[in-house]
Structure 1
Amino acid sequence: MNKDADRNPPHATSDLGRRVAARRAQLGLSCEDVAERAGSTPGYVAYVEEQVPTPSIEFLVRLANALETTVQDLTGYRADLAPGGVHAGHRARMEEVGEAECWELLDGHGVGRVAVEGRDGLAVFPVNYQVVEREIVFTTAADSILARASASGAEVAFEEDRLDEAFSQGWSVLLVGSVRRVSDETAVRRIMDAGRPEPWAGEGRDTLVTLSPRRVTGRRIRVPGAPGTPSGSVAQGPSRA
């Protein structure tokens, strides 16, 4: 891989540039890789990242496809908006996702939601997670609802999803199982070696918790003609809600 894959400009001068550079780094791609995917040149991809570009919508669409994302995500159009506000896709269908693919979709780490029963009833919290040996690992505050649930081995639900609002399609993965605190030094070291999840909420969340799922399920919405949809895909009647 070209050393350009590790290139991180000291200061991109546009939000678009920062988002493009961050997404490229996340995928482990060089400017050459992105340029080949987008039908452009490495120099122009670097210019988009480092300057204040005014690319055409046609190029933005190609760039978003090259980076496996959407124009809205690259431009930050939905940064402060709740997802799912666009209309449903034409002839959309829902498919079940197998367990092996569910783990692939979780992609080793990310931000998901945990639903847990607390003193005041059900509560849902976003968490930064890491996948370690088919378990979900996250950190929380020692006095949090999640920490109390893990002390008793309570059962929780964990959900992660992705939406492609440009084409009204996406997927979701649901894991259900018990949570427990991690205190054994060997287990803590194993998790640290795999990459400890860093909460966006900041410091003070040092209690390691693991979710051991007994059930892993997923669903995907496909729209005929959208990227990633097999050719000839057609709707097969209504799906269960």
Structure 2
Amino acid sequence: MTERPSSHAVEGHPAGDLGRRITQRRTELGMSRQETAAQAGMSPAYLQYLEERPPADPGAGTLLRLAGALKTTVWHLTGGDTELPPGLGRAARAPRFTELTEAECRSLLSTHGVGRLAVPEDAGPVVIPVNYSVIDGGIVFRTAPGTTPAQADGHQVAFEADRIDEAFSEGWSVLVRGPATTVTDPDEVARLEEQAYSTPWAGGRRDLWLRIEPVAVTGRRITVV
């Protein structure tokens, strides 16, 4: 396919799986569309076409250059690893393992994301993923009464979030420990609903809010020397 954009390509939101993955990856790296296009050896208009047009079907050479510019793999850009757990790549030859400060941990947790909640049960702890937000320094998430996440109420829990870069065998993880409590004040519930980033990916009615108050926040990062 020649690298010429559709005549209808305009500025807009990413569309299609490939477009979303390209946009997400360059956003993670803090790269503009112009910077990415220059490093991939293509015009910004063609990159815009790839990001915003679902029918876009670039050739193997274009995908290789784009993956190189975005420091990732063609497999990831095309969604080949969607159903696989992260971390399948080999360890780097010279990894560097460092402890993160609490400030660094909180920065990495940022405002929202998907993390793993460890909930105590009679048969042993259970770990489940939850969509979370960080509001006023606390980890908040919503669920439904009677669910496993709801059982965190009144217990000391652990919450973990991480990020893995398959292309470079690098990543980080942050662990938060503290008490989880149900948010019952109507005004506070309304404030959380207003400030939280999104509703749970699982869908359905999930109106029960829980908050984890961090008592201990630790983290680690693996980089390549």
**TM-score, length-scaled by structure 2:** 0.83
Report the AA paired with residue 124 of structure 1: V
2:180 and 2:203 mapped to 1: Cα distance? 22
The within-5 A match list for 1:69-218 is: 71-150=74-153, 153-195=154-196, 197-218=198-219
For 2:170 and 2:100, the matched residues in 1 are separated by: 14
Q: 1:209-228 alignment to 2 at 5 Å?
A: 209-224=210-225
2:58 aligned partner: 53
Shift in CA distance, 100/38, structure 1 to aligned 2, threshold 3 Å: farther
Instruction: Give SS of 2:220's match.
Output: strand
Unpaired runs of 5+ in structure 2? 1-8
Measured in 2, the distance between the counterparts of 1:206 and 1:37 equals 46
Query: Are residues 86 and 136 of structure 1, via their aligned partners in 2, closer, same or farther at CA, if it must alter by over 3 Å?
Result: same
Alignment-derived partner of residue 234 in structure 1: none
- Which residue is equivalent to 2:45? 43
In structure 2, give the amino acid aligned to 1:19: R
The separation in 1 between residues aligned to 2:197 and 2:164, in whole angstroms, is 26
Task: Show structure 1 runs of 5+ residues with no match.
Answer: 225-241
Is residue 2:9 matched to residue 1:7?
no
| SS at 1:118 equivalent | coil
Cα distance in 1 for residues equivalent to 2:132 and 2:73: 23
Percent pairwise identity: 44
Does structure 1 retain, via aligned residues, the 8 Å contact 2:41–2:65? no
Shift of 1:93: 1.9
Aligned position for 1:238: none
Cα separation, 2, equivalents of 1:41 and 1:125: 43
Find the aligned partners of 2:142 and 2:85 in 1 and give their Cα distance. Answer: 25
Change (3 A) 1:36 1:211: farther
How big is the shift at 1:108? 0.8
Residue 21 of structure 1 deviates from its aligned partner by 3.9
Instruction: Please give the secondary structure, in 2, of the residue aligned with 1:121.
Output: coil
Give 1:134 shift.
0.8
SS of the residue corresponding to residue 99 of structure 2 reads: strand
**Contact 2:156/2:179 (8 A) holds in 1:** yes
Equivalenced residues, count: 212
